[in-house]
A and B are shown apart, each in its own frame.
Chain A
Amino acid sequence: MQRAEEARSLPGVRMKIGLFIPCYIDAFYPNAGIATLELLEKLGQDVEYPMNQTCCGQPMANSGCNKDAAPAEALFVKNFAKYDAIVMPSGSCTHHVRDNFDAIEQTDEVRHVRENTFELVEFLHDVLKVQDFPWAEFPHKVGLHNSCGTLRALRTASMSELGEPFFSKPMDLLNKVKGISFATPKRPDECCGFGGTFSVTEEAVSAKMGTDKVRDHHQAGAEYIVSADTSCMMHQQGCAERAGVPIRFIHIAEILNGARE
């Protein structure tokens, strides 16, 4: 992570950032994408969204069809190799690029892309080391949902399985938002059951997990579920609406960018 490491030692540096917007955010939750872009711009970064982007290759690779991920991975590298950092409002896509992106030959260019791809929260927390969001105010009780990708792969928060001291990068950031308070569900680390194609191939288990998850947050008193992963929330929102659980969903980028609602 050479360039990113340099940036870490130089807070305040302006980086050339390539913004990756996952397909489901592009199509269903553009506000999460817009908030990510605006937030990075407010923080003084030079952000570009390459128009020819599609997908990181994760759906194919997670289904075992790694070879079928090659065209998406090759295109991803073509789109993003020129940037200092690639930032995306998605833990699971970041996990794929960083940890599993091996359907294509591992050239220097590919290694550069993989080593400099960041999930938004870790980018704000670890690279830009943002100290405050003066424009942000969210006077609501929120339940934080850490996706399994951010929790157990990117390690942006401590996990209950290991008994390690508590840490939470997303909560560190949200704590800088005026008026926000947190609800703690009974099973904060339990997977919500999205799991990519699992959500359709194992529909019954997936929906049951999602419904249990949103009920847990609602019973803890959360008005909103906030997450760095929209895919989990797309699934949870579907479960909440069907089960009649009155809870709203918002991407962490939107809160940090100053969403009021």
Chain B
Amino acid sequence: MKVKPVNHAKAAEAFIEDTAHMDFHDERLWDLRQKRDQQMHILPEWQELRARASAIKEHTLANLPEYLEQFEANAKKNGIHVHWAADGAEHNRIVGEILEKHGAKSLIKSKSMVTEECCMREYLEPRGVVVTETDLGERIQQLDDQMPSHIVVPAVHKLIPDVAKIFAKHYHTDPNDDDAQSLAWQQRLAARPVILSADAGMTGGNFVVAETGSFVVCTNEGNADLSATVPGLHIATIGIERLVPRMADMGVFIRMLSRSALGSPITQYTTHFRGPQKGSEMHVVLVDNGRSHRLGMEEFWTSLKCIRCGACMNTCPVYRRSGGLSYGAVYSGPIGAIIDPTFNERKYSTLPFASTMNGSCTNVCPVKINIHDQLYKWRRVLAEHHELPFVKREVMYMAGKLMGQPSLYRAAINSTEVALSTMPRFVLYNWLNPWGKHRELPHPVKQTFHSWYKQNRLKTKKKEGEGA
């Protein structure tokens, strides 16, 4: 059976109908965008930093095999076990084997988009491993059995009462608790014992440094540090594109990451993991899962520069008004719309169209990914691969024909006296109804420009010509 494309428009409509959630979501993320702007204004070298960050990433991606091998060799020297996973299944198997070897039955983890990609929880839990997210937002999402809706603030689409209800269900707390601090405290009470007794800890990795064989984890809650250091076993799951050549490069990326993401100068915790503590083990699983394939795509490979700051989501007017879950994918928002189709072209064929291509994303991106150009290019690729809805394809085919024939085009416009009744038919076709659902139609006019020109310029010119 063929996969059904994600219906972003329908999910977004439902999100918008819930005004309280929608307005909060929009304002909250817009606030992050404004804070990001303030930080940008503080740094006069912002554009230079963007250019450097982009150049470092492009250089690294162009030489990825060499840097990956350099990292592996140096990490091993540091006493880190390095594993290679070609896809999600291999990643999950590797993690499962490490846990099994240690007899680990409880795994605490910090937020990692790669484990979401690999569906790791779904793999480990039936095998008797209890996986507990330690990032507050991610934990809320886990308890509510939802994907993260944003890569930095995973539960940003929820309001305090939503969280109170979820906690009441799982932690037996007051369902009407409307105090954020009290709710955070409940989470702390519930999480601490799990953290302290966990058999293994997992983190992601924001950056991997080839020359030092180390990796960097940036968080605001300190939960990654607990996950990494409290149990005697630390597994870090990291996408192969997270590499940078030198430690000095961190001076560029650390300055940009949190400023772009949350508008704060730096994350509360920026931890460099250089090797296991005495008596414990450290593993790094380097995950490909489609990245090598993406690296070979001429028009889309630069999407691998992404440092997962979420700035494109925060600025995206469509994302803010549709919510991350409406994208039906691990990665939502503008960056998701250009990455997701590489995982499944049909399923995510609708996402490059869930955009007005306004270009704001491209211009906030700290590594200068041409996101909106790639959205445009994806549309072409999807049309060529016949992944457009039949109606749209047909309408565009017919419109294209019509636009090439002035007499037919003019006949279509002039077929009735009133332009209004023709315009929707020849331009909007059967999409007329959607336009009118929340909007009025344009007003009819007495005369088209074409006909006015004929009357007021051509006739005059003709007369002038006759006179001369």
Q: Which residues of A contact B (CB under 8 A)?
A: 21, 23-30, 33-34, 37, 49, 51-55, 57, 59-60, 62-72, 74-75, 100, 148, 151-153, 159-163, 187, 189-191, 193-212, 234-235, 237-239, 241-242
CB closest chain-B residue, reference A209: B317
For this complex, 6 residue pairs linking A to B, each with C-beta atoms less than 8 Å apart, are A37-B457, A53-B406, A205-B9, A210-B439, A235-B439, A238-B440
Contact (Cβ within 8 A) A205 B441: no
Contact (Cβ within 8 A) B449 A21: yes
| Residue from A53, A159, A208, A238 in contact with B363 in the complex, judged by beta carbons closer than 8 Å | A159
- Centre residue among A25, A65, A193 by max chain B CB count within 10 A: A65
Contact (Cβ within 8 A) B357 A195: yes
The 0/1 profile, CB within 8 Å of A marked 1, for residues 423-438 of chain B is 1000110010011011
Bound form: Cα–Cα A163–B363 in Å: 10
Q: Is the interface of A mostly helix, strand, loop or mixed?
A: helix
Q: Does B68 contact A (CB under 8 A)?
A: no
CB closest chain-B residue, reference A195: B356
| Residue from B26, B360, B439 in contact with A152 in the complex, judged by beta carbons closer than 8 Å | B360
B458: chain A residues at CB < 8 Å are 51
A163 CB → nearest B CB, Å? 5
CB closest chain-B residue, reference A210: B439
Q: Does B264 contact A (CB under 8 A)?
A: no
Q: Does B445 contact A (CB under 8 A)?
A: yes
Contact (Cβ within 8 A) B397 A51: no
Bound form: Cα–Cα A65–B371 in Å: 19
B289: chain A residues at CB < 8 Å are none
B434-468 contacts to A, CB under 8 A, are 434-435, 437-443, 445, 447-450, 452-454, 457-458
A-B contact count (CB 8 A): 232
Known pairs A64-B388, A207-B438, A208-B16; A202 contacts B400 (CB<8 A): no
Bound form: Cα–Cα A216–B447 in Å: 33
Contact (Cβ within 8 A) B360 A64: no
CB closest chain-B residue, reference A69: B400
Known pairs A21-B449, A28-B442, A161-B363; A60 contacts B435 (CB<8 A): no
| Residue from A66, A196, A202, A205 in contact with B380 in the complex, judged by beta carbons closer than 8 Å | A66
B139 CB → nearest A CB, Å? 29
The 0/1 profile, CB within 8 Å of A marked 1, for residues 34-54 of chain B is 000100110000110000000
Q: Does B252 contact A (CB under 8 A)?
A: no
CB closest chain-A residue, reference B311: A161
B362: chain A residues at CB < 8 Å are 152
A234: chain B residues at CB < 8 Å are 442
A30: chain B residues at CB < 8 Å are 445, 447-449, 452
Q: Is the interface of B mostly helix, strand, loop or mixed?
A: helix
| Residue from A26, A28, A33, A202 in contact with B420 in the complex, judged by beta carbons closer than 8 Å | A28
Known pairs A71-B405, A204-B12, A239-B439; A153 contacts B359 (CB<8 A): yes
CB-CB nearest 5 A-B residue pairs = A71-B404, A68-B400, A195-B356, A64-B379, A238-B439
Bound form: Cα–Cα A198–B317 in Å: 13
B156-171 contacts to A, CB under 8 A, are none
Contact (Cβ within 8 A) B409 A54: yes
- Centre residue among B352, B400, B457 by max chain A CB count within 10 A: B400
A161 CB → nearest B CB, Å? 4
Contact (Cβ within 8 A) A195 B355: yes
Known pairs A63-B388, A193-B356; A211 contacts B413 (CB<8 A): no
Q: Which residues of B contact A (CB under 8 A)?
A: 8-9, 12-13, 16, 22, 26, 30, 37, 40-41, 46-47, 315, 317-318, 321-322, 352-360, 362-364, 376, 378-384, 388, 392-393, 396-397, 399-406, 409, 413, 419-420, 422-423, 427-428, 431, 434-435, 437-443, 445, 447-450, 452-454, 457-458
Bound form: Cα–Cα A100–B193 in Å: 58
Contact (Cβ within 8 A) B353 A201: yes
Contact (Cβ within 8 A) A62 B413: no
Bound form: Cα–Cα A260–B447 in Å: 21
Contact (Cβ within 8 A) A201 B431: yes
| Residue from B352, B420, B437 in contact with A203 in the complex, judged by beta carbons closer than 8 Å | B437
Contact (Cβ within 8 A) B318 A209: yes
Contact (Cβ within 8 A) B358 A49: no
B415 CB → nearest A CB, Å? 12
Given contacts A71-B404, A235-B439, 9 further A-B contacts (CB under 8 A): A26-B448, A49-B453, A54-B403, A55-B409, A60-B396, A67-B400, A70-B404, A200-B428, A200-B434
| Residue from B16, B317, B402 in contact with A190 in the complex, judged by beta carbons closer than 8 Å | B317
Contact (Cβ within 8 A) B358 A237: no
Bound form: Cα–Cα A210–B420 in Å: 21
Contact (Cβ within 8 A) A148 B437: no
B363: chain A residues at CB < 8 Å are 152, 159, 161-162
Known pairs A62-B379, A63-B383; A152 contacts B359 (CB<8 A): yes
| Residue from A66, A148, A242 in contact with B357 in the complex, judged by beta carbons closer than 8 Å | A148
Known pairs A194-B356, A200-B428, A202-B354; A28 contacts B438 (CB<8 A): no
B376: chain A residues at CB < 8 Å are 62, 100
Contact (Cβ within 8 A) A205 B318: yes
CB closest chain-B residue, reference A30: B449
A14 CB → nearest B CB, Å? 17
Contact (Cβ within 8 A) A27 B399: no
CB closest chain-A residue, reference B9: A202
Contact (Cβ within 8 A) B454 A51: yes
B16: chain A residues at CB < 8 Å are 204-205, 208
- Centre residue among B383, B388, B397 by max chain A CB count within 10 A: B383
Contact (Cβ within 8 A) B356 A161: no
Contact (Cβ within 8 A) A71 B321: no
Bound form: Cα–Cα A68–B388 in Å: 14
Bound form: Cα–Cα A201–B452 in Å: 33
Contact (Cβ within 8 A) A59 B427: yes
Bound form: Cα–Cα A41–B450 in Å: 17
